[in-house]
Structure 1
């Protein structure tokens, strides 16, 4: 079995696609919501827009099924706010409502895959 190796092209050689210039087709405005805690009854949390999330942790979380995938989206989108969000008990019905509102904000229909196009 042989493999074909090609030499690494020089920086000035042409390429087929420049991923560096790709930009989002929609406004990546963050999603903000209120989720009070005993310590902070007016706490507001911010989630990055779904289309701007790093795909690698989302793909890893998706290996665990739908619930893991949803939690992976929340953890990635909340970033530094994840621990504050996670520290307050959250009923499942509220998590589902929050996820639906987040999907709507990001231009996706509830149940639509993270990787699918919103166009």
Structure 2
């Protein structure tokens, strides 16, 4: 219990006190270039969609989606990576499973994520 109390009191330290790590200063080690693809929607046979790089996505959204299993995690990645407008248009169009698999594979390749590697895994 003493360590728990120490942790709570350390969190309330004034801003002028030393700290162990500055998360604000961390920069990405990879190019976070977006991934773009074409897909037909009801109003555009060649709509361009943009997905933000996997490494730049909000980890909390990804972890919540991962609680839903593999399929939930995959859908969560697409939802987190797209703008609300793109996600709504993409989700509103029918996509065959084989096409979604090919799209996800291309997205992961663009992001440098190896087959079988979890998006939240470290490269240790």
Same fold (TM over 0.5): yes
Tell me by how many angstroms 1:37 deviates. 1.9
In 2, the alpha carbon distance for the partners of 1:118 and 1:107 equals 11
Asked whether the 8 Å contact 1:63–1:69 carries over to 2, the reply is: yes
Segments of structure 2 that go 5 or more residues without pairing to the other structure are none
Higher fraction of strand: 2
Asked whether the 8 Å contact 1:35–1:43 carries over to 2, the reply is: yes
Between the two proteins, the alignment pairs up a number of residues equal to 119
TM-score by length of 2: 0.88
Q: What CA deviation, in whole Å up to 9, does each residue of 1:38-88 have, x standing for no partner?
A: 310120100000000001111011011000000000000012210010010
TM-score by length of 1: 0.92
Residue 41 (structure 2) pairs with residue 74 (structure 1): no
Match of 2:66 among 62, 66, 74: 62
Where does residue 13 of structure 2 map in the other structure?
Answer: 9
CA RMSD of aligned residues (A): 1.7
**1:32 aligns to what SS in structure 2?**
strand
Moved more, 36-45 or 60-69: 36-45
In 2, the alpha carbon distance for the partners of 1:110 and 1:116 equals 12
Residue 31 (structure 2) pairs with residue 27 (structure 1): yes
Higher fraction of helix: 2
Asked whether the 8 Å contact 1:33–1:44 carries over to 2, the reply is: yes
Match of 1:49 among 43, 46, 53: 53
In 2, the alpha carbon distance for the partners of 1:69 and 1:101 equals 17
Residue 103 (structure 2) pairs with residue 98 (structure 1): yes
Residue 121 (structure 2) pairs with residue 116 (structure 1): yes
